[in-house]
Structure 1
Amino acid sequence: MKAITFEEFGEADVLRLVDVPAPEIRPDDLLVRVHAAGVNRADLLHRRGSYGRPDFGDSTLMGLEIAGEVLEVGHAAQGYEVGDRVMGVVGGGAYAEIARIDWRMAMPVPASLDYVHAAAIPEVFVTAHEALLHLGRVELGDSVLIHAAAGGVGSAAVQLAYATGATVFATADASKLERVVQLGADYVIDYRTQDFVEIVASKTGKRGVDVVIDFVGAPYLARNIASLANGGRLVQVGMLGGGGKVGVELAQILYRHLQIIGTVMKSRPQADKHAMVQRFRERWLDRFAAGACLEPVVDSTFPLARATDAHRRMESSANVGKIILTMMPSGREAGAF
């Protein structure tokens, strides 16, 4: 089968399309012919050597989410048959024509969706649900501040917050704010020219928001805490702006009853990952039906052979929503969606 590999860590041009053996099915696996695969920032880190030479459990190949057709069902797998359309999160191996997935990490593709849009759901919407609703405990009437709201997880979080009935503050580049409003944001903030702390204070009567969902990291920590209402929760999902040591005024945490919660799917035990997928599936999967309130946001698609260009697109930060690799040679060009 064809797959993307690289011989040395580095820039996007190290990626190569080569022939590799197809994965062997295990008892709990579905073997899937991949039609589309999502590109995630974790793939960029993988390529640059941040994880060394990883085996995330399914494959040493790159890629964490797929949509495709079941070719074979392991003897311990349940609920799926050959020919079923599935999407889900894999532990590596998505950048290939065939991948294996633990059946508990798979979900049926809603009938109204094609494989490209299905591949834009699993990683980002499961992560967004976990951060926003399971850990952040957002409820009807709450207010939430979502950073990087035009990205994959950010755009999913905006939609889930809106569907839950929360008031949504969202930061993004000025060129992307109109699209973020379309996804459900009540107040949009140009992170380059506007101070989100001031806008949150102004629009909430200085109360602050109940939850902050942050992907930026250290540069935003103090301002995120300043934006929280008493009893508020900061859920840290990423560190796009850098990690390392940060300073926190402990009295703010204690006397305002704040919580700071970190979450990364990749490093969790497999049973936790199963539970994350199940929680998302039970609450939201039916909401992707035709005419329903949720939509997978696709920025652009690239054929598998052009994975280098897909990575460059993500590194440019020009995308709104997901970048998708297709296994057919006629994938749409960047900007087609």
Structure 2
Amino acid sequence: MKAILFKEFGDAAVLHLDDASVPTVRPTDLLVRVHAAGVNRADLTHRRGGYGRPDFGDSTIMGLEIAGEVIEVGSDAHGYHVGDRVMGVVGGGAYAEVARIDWRMAMPIPAGMDYIHAAAIPEVFVTAHEALLHLGRLKKGDAVLVHAAAGGVGSAVVQLAHATGATVFATADASKHDRVVQLGADHVIDYRTEDFAAVVAKFVAAKSEKGGVDVVIDFIGAPYFAKNIASLTHGGRLIQVGLLGGGGEVGFDLAQILYRHLQIIGTVMKSRTQAEKHAMTRRFREHWLEHFNAGTSLMPVVDSTFPLAQAADAHRRMESAENVGKIILTT
């Protein structure tokens, strides 16, 4: 099979198309002919050497999510047959013509959906559900602040929050505001020119006595931490999903956490145990999968597609930060 390989860590130019061995099917695996694969920021970190190793879990080949057709079923895999259309998160190996996936991480592709849009669902929507509803406990009538709302996970969070019946505040570059509104945001804030904590305080004060939002979903990290805390209402939850703006130490008065009954929760899917990943996938599937059927409320957001051989260009597109939604490789 053909796959994207790299011999050394570095910029996007290290990626190249080459021959690779078809992965061996274990008892709990499905072997899938990959038609589309999602590009994720973890792939950029992998390529640059941020994980300190050339492999990512199951495979030395890059890539964490796929959509395709089952071509072989492991002896202990249940509920799937050769010819089924599936999507899901893999432990590496997505940037290839064939990949294996633990059957408990696989999901059927919604009726009428093509492989490209299916590949834009698993990583971002499973992560979004976990952060927003399972950990953040968002419910109808709540208010949520979503950062990086035009990105892959951010755009999924906005959709799920809107579908839940929450008031959605979102930060994004001004050029992307119209698209974020279309996804379901009620108030979009230009993070370059506006103080998001002040905007949230103004709107919330005019509408209720809460004094802040119930949940903040943050991908930025240290630069936003203090203002995220200031944006929360009593009993609010900050869910830290990423550190695009940097990690490191943050200074804060712990009394704010104590007396306002705040919670700060971190979540990273790739470092979870397999059992935890299975549970995350199951929770998303049971709650939301049927909402992706034709004519219903949710739709994966695809920014652009690239042939597998042009994976380097797909990485450059993500590094430009100009994308709205997912970048997809096709095989």
Could you state the TM-score of these two structures normalised by the residue count of structure 1?
Answer: 0.96
Structure 2 partner of 1:228: 232
- Which runs of structure 2 are paired with 1:277-296 in the superposition (5 Å)? 277-296=281-300
- Residues 1:251 and 2:276 are matched in the alignment: no
Q: Which amino acid in structure 2 is aligned with residue 25 of structure 1?
A: V
Report how far residue 272 of structure 1 moved: 0.2
Partners of 2:314 and 2:129 lie apart in 1 by 26
**2:323 aligned to 295, 319, 324, which one?**
319
Report how far residue 52 of structure 1 moved: 1.8
Query: Is the Cα contact below 8 Å between 1:143 and 1:211 reproduced in 2?
Result: yes
**2:314 aligned to 310, 321, 324, which one?**
310
- Residues 1:260 and 2:264 are matched in the alignment: yes
Structure 1 partner of 2:95: 95
Partners of 2:62 and 2:204 lie apart in 1 by 43
Structure 2 stretches lacking a partner, 5+ long: none
Structure 1 partner of 2:171: 171
Query: Is the Cα contact below 8 Å between 2:56 and 2:62 reproduced in 1?
Result: no
Partners of 1:276 and 1:24 lie apart in 2 by 25
Query: Is the Cα contact below 8 Å between 2:3 and 2:19 reproduced in 1?
Result: yes
SS state of the match for residue 176, structure 2?
A: helix
Partners of 1:122 and 1:305 lie apart in 2 by 22
Deviations, residues 288-316 of structure 1 (Å, cap 9, x unaligned): 01110000000000000000000000000
Report how far residue 57 of structure 1 moved: 3.2
Partners of 2:201 and 2:136 lie apart in 1 by 20
Partners of 2:101 and 2:5 lie apart in 1 by 19
- Which runs of structure 2 are paired with 1:25-104 in the superposition (5 Å)? 25-104=25-104
Structure 1 stretches lacking a partner, 5+ long: 328-337
Q: Which amino acid in structure 1 is aligned with residue 100 of structure 2?
A: R
Superposition RMSD on alpha carbons, in Å? 0.7
Report how far residue 174 of structure 1 moved: 0.3
Compared CA separation, residues 276 and 54, structure 1 to 2 (3 A): farther
Deviations, residues 226-272 of structure 1 (Å, cap 9, x unaligned): 00001000000000000011112100000000000000000011000
SS state of the match for residue 266, structure 1?
A: helix
Query: Is the Cα contact below 8 Å between 1:55 and 1:91 reproduced in 2?
Result: no
Structure 2 partner of 1:106: 106
Structure 2 partner of 1:126: 126
- Which runs of structure 2 are paired with 1:261-276 in the superposition (5 Å)? 261-276=265-280
Report how far residue 112 of structure 1 moved: 1.5
Query: Is the Cα contact below 8 Å between 2:55 and 2:62 reproduced in 1?
Result: no
SS state of the match for residue 310, structure 1?
A: helix
Query: Is the Cα contact below 8 Å between 2:30 and 2:70 reproduced in 1?
Result: yes
Structure 1 stretches of 4+ with a deviation exceeding 4 A read: none
SS state of the match for residue 201, structure 1?
A: helix
- Residues 1:192 and 2:156 are matched in the alignment: no
- Residues 1:137 and 2:137 are matched in the alignment: yes
SS state of the match for residue 180, structure 1?
A: helix
Partners of 1:77 and 1:243 lie apart in 2 by 39
Query: Is the Cα contact below 8 Å between 1:58 and 1:101 reproduced in 2?
Result: no
Partners of 2:160 and 2:60 lie apart in 1 by 32
Could you state the TM-score of these two structures normalised by the residue count of structure 2?
Answer: 0.98
